[in-house]
Structure 1
Amino acid sequence: MSRIGKKIINLPQNTDIQIIDNNVYIIGPKGKLSYQLPKVITIKYNKENQTLNLYKVHENKEAQKLYGLSRTLIHNMIIGVSKGFEKKLHIQGVGYRSQIQGRNLILNVGYSHPVVIEPPEDILISVENNTHITIKGIKKEKVGEIAAQIRRIRPPEPYKGKGIRYLNEKIHLKVGKAGK
């Protein structure tokens, strides 16, 4: 039984919502997002309290699965258009650095060639101090996917800790081979 689906979603002051049939459109200062609700879920908007409630049409497994998921996706959309999402990465290693050229991110992380990453149009990438990368956007899934894609280029290795990691990510370092 989903407890997440029962929670009320509060809308911030700067966010507007439109519900047309089973489509939910959320408009905020950062942009506009839409989501098509499954047929087994309905939504009710209370204008006085600025709240949203989701309800199941039928009590079956399919509705139960989609109940909490739909609530979470709509809540993430509201946060995205009002505040936005961001992920921070840190590059660690001698000679490892990053830079922005136009919209593209260029990484020099120990390969014989620089790695170029072209972000999607709704994602903004910025670099501070050549070693800190910030990814910002309104879609939580895309921000996380781009951050994971960048980290995948040179994941932190377990002996010296060199590589690209999330900010505040703990890497458990292994002890090297003991020489005689």
Structure 2
Amino acid sequence: MSKKAKKILTNIKNVNLVIKKKLFISGKLGSINKNINLNHFYVFKKKNNISILPKFKNFFCKLNWCTYSTIINNCVYGVNCFFKKKILLKGIEFKFSIYKNKIKLGTGFSHLNNFNLPKDIFLKMCKNNKDFYIYSTDNVLLGDFGFKIKKIKKYNIYKDKGIKYFNEKILLKEKKKK
């Protein structure tokens, strides 16, 4: 049994936790529905603390205790303060624009790439037109959307251009010497 699973979430204010067939958590920034099976676990909310404990001492409970605890922790964090990632567009021909709920990315191809924004993701442009922040209450949805954007133009390790996260470390390779 891991230490992370035994950890009690503390200082949780303005969070409503409802467990029926689905996990529903709502807070000041929104709400999250998760389809996880909590039949083998007890989830307690007392004042400003949330704890999760297994009902049985079998292999399944030991295996999933930390996973479910982390999922609940991420949901509680997401409805209190947003998860965010900064995406950089590095290169001369890269640009993007936002129109209503669509993102138009120019990545050097002959056409623009259009994306519909999911309803739980928000965008904020930076001063230059080369980078932007994406915000969401759901960490998984944010990672999937960021990956979808990065997949358009893979980062070129020889020319030092492409789409990447702000804190992503990429080792550049030298060109062939003649």
TM-score relative to the length of structure 2: 0.91
Verify: 1:136 aligned to 2:138, yes or no: no
Give a deviation string over 1:40-97, Cα, whole Å, max 9, x none: 11111212xx101111111111111210111111111111111011111001011211
In structure 2, the residue matched to 1:77 is 75
Q: Deviations along 1:123-154, whole A, 9 cap, x unmatched? A: 11232221112111111100111011101111
Q: What runs of 5+ residues in structure 1 fail to find an aligned partner?
A: none
Residue equivalent to 2:95 = 97
Q: How many equivalent residue pairs?
A: 176
Q: Is the 8 A contact 1:107 1:114 kept in 2?
A: yes
Identity score, percent: 27
The 1:18/1:11 distance shift into structure 2, 3 A limit, reads farther
Alignment-derived partner of residue 42 in structure 1: 42
Structure 1 residue 171 and structure 2 residue 174: aligned? Answer: no
Partner of 1:32: 31
Task: Look up the equivalent residue of 2:31 and give its one-letter code.
Answer: K
- 8 Å CA contact 1:100–1:126 kept in 2: the answer is no
Displacement of 1:174 in angstroms is 0.7
Secondary structure (helix, strand or coil) at the match of 1:141 reads helix
User: What are the Cα deviations for residues 140-174 of structure 1, in whole angstroms up to 9, with x where unaligned?
Assistant: 10011101110111121110111001002221111
Which letter maps to 1:168? N
Corresponding position of 1:106 = 104
